[in-house]
Structure 1
């Protein structure tokens, strides 16, 4: 992975941790997630005239990914409703890189060096260590763990779908804008169906948070999808999960969550994995 792709993915990781922290705005978790995704959809819709309509080969991946992103958002909201940000976020992100790496090598023909594979394993292991051992006496409820793991499965699925979709479209930025426009529409319709039209009106008072979080979400994922068109999907997906390091800092500095020795050890393991990914 080249230095500039590496740096862009790290920036994307920081932005991703930031918008996930915004989910703790004063709304319930589903409303907050929908607020941010609708904000991203509005921004994407405004920029669609600047890009072309996706190629025919990209549309199956685009539609599949829109469905997968809705599932991800719903289960992410459920996971955050039952556990701390510092626990749920690492578990949700930690399993996906291993799934993506296995599929990328076995089915997609992505070539990754032995050092790169070691980096993926270390990064994923460190994320899990942070979530499980770093929790101290605080245990994540079983339902929170289940929702976080289901979220992780959705992450792996849409990561692969979008990596292939961006390659098929040959325009990563255009693909991302259409994806976020569709995702924002799908999330708004889902919230309307689940809770009624008045609920959509309830989130409009937080539109600034929605637009800020939406911009962060779209920039983070746009950079990631672009990187997947430049480097192996598995390596990009794993490096993106270094966002857990940024989430660790946010949870300690801004959310008042405890920073234990175990979490610091896990952070060092993750950092080692990131360095190996750069070398690989």
Structure 2
């Protein structure tokens, strides 16, 4: 349930990033929100165990790359294309990463559910009508985003288990996003005065949704296998596909919503497995 709530939050803040005029500024405000919430978490929970610090560092660097790739992916592609493929790569790659590096095993049925979810998610982006094969920049940034998502999902899933206190791990992870805000501030310092108040509110609101969503996912990693968490989390692609096609007016809604239904079957099947 925690992961499903996080999925709705995650799709919502990605939709905010997609529709705003200056995505870099909104991503900077999201990073600022992360930093503020992280500082509160640190004040409450303190410092995590030393064994978790290499994971915090690795995840921080991966998140910097995530912001860059996500910004460019939404600059050139649709929400109902970019989000499904970027998130769709994650369940299978996280399952492989958790198997290779965290020693987690899954039954053949669970692997089948992960593969089904990943296939349905990828079909959302690679349908014959409205696919992205003919637009290499969209494909490149989207695949890069997906690889980074899978990487930091495995890193954080392992790191939070070593932290001793999940809240401390989250706090230090979030607070190190401050350089993202500073970078955006410096690059946009001449145009900041032109940003409407509504844009600032959207950025901060998106940041709060983002930090709440990922906090729930990290906490869930202390309770369940990483691959299962990742696959259930990707139910957000269903929400994103609906937002993109029905609310933002993106094309080929039948194909994309049909593929989202395949995702739902895979996720529901996975949720029934131990």
- Same fold at TM > 0.5: yes
Identify which of 13, 32, 56 aligns with 2:7. 13
Deviations 1:144-181 (A, max 9, x none): 11010111111111111111110110222221122111
Q: Deviations along 1:208-241, whole A, 9 cap, x unmatched?
A: 2222111110111011111111111111112111
Task: Report what 2:121 is aligned to.
Answer: 127
The offset of 1:94, in angstroms, is 1.1
Q: After TM superposition, give the deviation of residue 114 of structure 1 in Å.
A: 2.0
Structure 2 gap segments, 5+ residues each: none
SS at match of 1:136: coil
Q: Structure 2: how far apart are the matches of 1:224 and 1:200?
A: 33
Structure 1: tracts of 5 or more residues without a match: 1-6
Alpha-carbon deviation of 1:132? Answer: 1.2
RMSD of aligned residue pairs (Cα, Å): 2.1
CA contact (8 A) 1:35 1:203 kept: no
Say yes or no: does 1:223 pair with 2:216. yes
- Separation in 1 of the partners of 2:50 and 2:268? 38
Aligned residues: 272
SS in 2 for 1:256: coil
**Residue number in structure 2 paired with 1:4:** none
- TM-score, length-normalised on structure 2? 0.91
Pairing partner for 1:173 from 167, 170, 194? 167
Q: Distance in 1 between matches of 2:47 and 2:192?
A: 29
Whether the 8 Å CA contact 1:105–1:111 is kept in 2: the answer is: yes
SS at match of 1:95: helix
The one-character-per-residue Cα deviations of 1:35-79 (angstroms, maximum 9, x if unpaired) are: 222222223324431112122111111111111101001100001
Q: Which residue of 1 aligns with 2:230?
A: 237
Q: CA deviation at 1:278?
A: 0.8
